[in-house]
Amino acid sequence: MSSGDRKLEDLSRDRVGHEDERLTTDQGVRVEHTDDSLTVGERGPTLIEDFHFREKLTRFDHERIPERVVHARGAGAYGTFTCTDPIPEVTKADFLAEAGRETPVFVRFSTVAGSRGSADTVRDVRGFATKFYTREGNYDLVGNNFPVFFIQDGIKFPDFVHAVKPEPRNEIPQASSAHDTLWDFISLQPETIHMVMWLMSDRALPRSYRTMQGFGVHTFRFVNAEGKGTFVKFHWRPKLGTHSLVWDETQKIAGADPDFNRRDLWDAIESGNGPEYELGVQLVPEEREHNFDFDLLDATKIIPEEEVPLRIVGRMVLDRNPDNFFAETEQVAFHTANVVPGIDFTNDPLLQARNFSYLDTQLIRLGGPNFAQLPVNRPLAEVHHHQRDGYGQHRIDVSPVSYHPNSIAGGCPALASPSEGAYRHYTERVDGTKIRKRSPSFEDHYSQATLFWNSMSDWEQQHIADAFQFELGKVEREYIRERVVEHLAHVDHGLASQVAGGLGLETPADTSPNHGRSSPALSQANQPGSVATRKVAVLAADGVDAGPLEHVLQSLRSQGAVCEVLAPHAGTLEGGVTVDRGLLTMASVLYDAVLVPGGRESVEELRGNGAAMRYVAEAFKHAKPLGAIGDGVALVREAPIDNAHLSENGLVDDAGVVTLASTDNGELDAFAAAFAQAIAGHRHFDRRLAAVPA
């Protein structure tokens, strides 16, 4: 054999196939179970001696250098959290102990599946991670914009993320779940179905980070000064309400402005309109732990707000953008195990895994153990310990010792007592056999998925069905599509029938009657609305009727709306109206509403402008508010929309379409008020849609 042949043979040893082989560790040890961590009993804590779990998570944590494996694309901001309703009876956490107490925060929002170069508006879960720089040390509330997760045990996290990431053979598709490997995984793991319902809903397409809820996902534990525990779930609620984009719109925004959500957050803060959120908690006394028809330790379940109402304990306002994206937003390191006295963990097996995995990830991503010294990660509380050296060390420790106990340094840094603010873990008795087995209380995978479906409005349900048809329509293997539809039949037979029909599949038998329960708090149909910070595209050209337009703009801007005049050319229009942006540099999908003012010459020029007509047609198609004044009504009437929404005379507001033929100031006031109300409603899915050009 020649040396060349030997080299080829050596190279071929690196090309490994796995057909007909058995799963092993990196050391070649065969594995009999990879779906559950090794725990003490079925509901006990995860054991660190589980070498397969640690190897699997460690390998996964170190897959990307230096990009995050998940949550790679993010946006961050600084702000302040203010306690509004102290709860010392349930937690001794200092930042929740006194009304008016302010705590600095840094928040990072993110998409999950895509790379740093992907678009903001993909269908995906969004991260909502908050670092509280408390007086007792840093506390990280590492959450998402969904209250549940895909899996119940963290040992499955590498499997899920590998499945949702681009397919390994061709690195396609980017930042998308619409492909075979993800849905193959979903179809074989019914515990994912509840989360998938959220993923197929409008919740996966947030209008902005400012109008997005956040959740701690897991059930944590508050601990008070007496050592008594209380189960807790965390909720962030945006002041502006929770609002979403529509699917067609998200794809066009990805082309028009892939930084849409990041830009929106940055611009809002720069203009002094930074987002505001309420922090709510659901509190469950320990004696009620088993009073639910689900397991509190199951991260694929919610506690319906109708069963345990939210208690609002604080308010967070984000008001400062980072000075350097890499140094702050990219280098910020969150960790579910960064807790302060008064906050502790439960035996949720997904949370237990995250408590290991996050620190392990930061060690490789940020180049060593000293990442907590980076300014964005540095606590306000003083840091004293015996850890030394390592990559990135810039502290100059002058102590003569680096160990405990010692006498040379007088025993310092000395141990603290709980009365001095020392952290003490919650005392909990744990008994059980070391075992890889999930608790039977985790076995219900469909009832809360049905609860979510039942809670949706008609238009939300239609969007979910459409999303399933789109995603599964991209799946090449029919047997995967069939398995998913079988799962949907356990959620709701009508949903399964609609999806099956759209895919040309046989409808499964109706073997799982819908239980009929719902939770109105889950729907976006009744969210609070506001004109504040809504972006209105004003389509104008030379000859625009400036007087009535300025009258309406003044009214909208006084309520906080952001109105931008778009015209065929930059500068100033005849009549004195200042142009904010060129019509061709923007798109209707980048705005929340469209307004067409009057002026015969202006309307004539816009009538011959294809971009202007597209603005009107797309805004109508995407259920956005649409307004027109005077001659502008004629342009709207000529657009390819359902003219049944347009009035023959006077003022009318029908499904978010507001028109006014007259330009009398008294009527203009009524028009401005009606248009503002339509904008505050966000979307108007009750309108009849006509065909709109692609």
Q: Which of 138, 144, 338, 454 is catalytic?
A: 144
First to last CA, the chain: 62
Query: Hunting for tokens 């004539």 — which residue is that?
Result: 604
Q: Is 467 helix (H, G, I), strand (E, B) or coil?
A: helix
d(CA 279, CA 83): 9
Residue 404 annotated to the active site = no
* Alpha helix ranges (H) inside 420-538: 447-455, 458-473, 478-491, 493-503
Burial class (CB in 10 A: 0-12, 13-18, 19+), 254: middle
Residues in the chain: 694
Nearest to residue 221, comparing CAs of 343, 368, 351? 343
648-677 residues labelled b (16+ CB within 10 A) or e (exposed): eeebbbbbbbbbbbbbeeebbebbbebbbe
Q: Which of 52, 71, 243, 335 is catalytic?
A: 71
For residue 325, the tally of other CB atoms under 10 A from its CB is: 14
* Cα angle: 269, vertex 612, 640; to 5 degrees: 120
d(CA 433, CA 423): 29
Pair 321, 201: CB distance under 8 Å: no
Query: Hunting for tokens 């037979």 — which residue is that?
Result: 493
Nearest to residue 161, comparing CAs of 80, 248, 70? 70
d(CA 240, CA 593): 16
Which pair of structure tokens corresponds to residue 542?
């030379």
For residue 255, the tally of other CB atoms under 10 A from its CB is: 11
Pair 656, 684: CB distance under 8 Å: yes
DSSP 275-330: -EEEEEEEEEEGGGTT-SSS-TT-TT----TTTS--EEEEEEEEEE--S-IIIIII
d(CA 617, CA 642): 10
d(CA 131, CA 622): 36
Cα radius of gyration rounded to whole Å, the chain:
28
Adjacent-strand bridge partners of 108: 76, 129
d(CA 562, CA 581): 13
d(CA 300, CA 288): 19
For strands 562-567 and 535-539, give the pairing: parallel
Residue 454 annotated to the active site = no
Q: Which residues are catalytic?
A: 71, 144
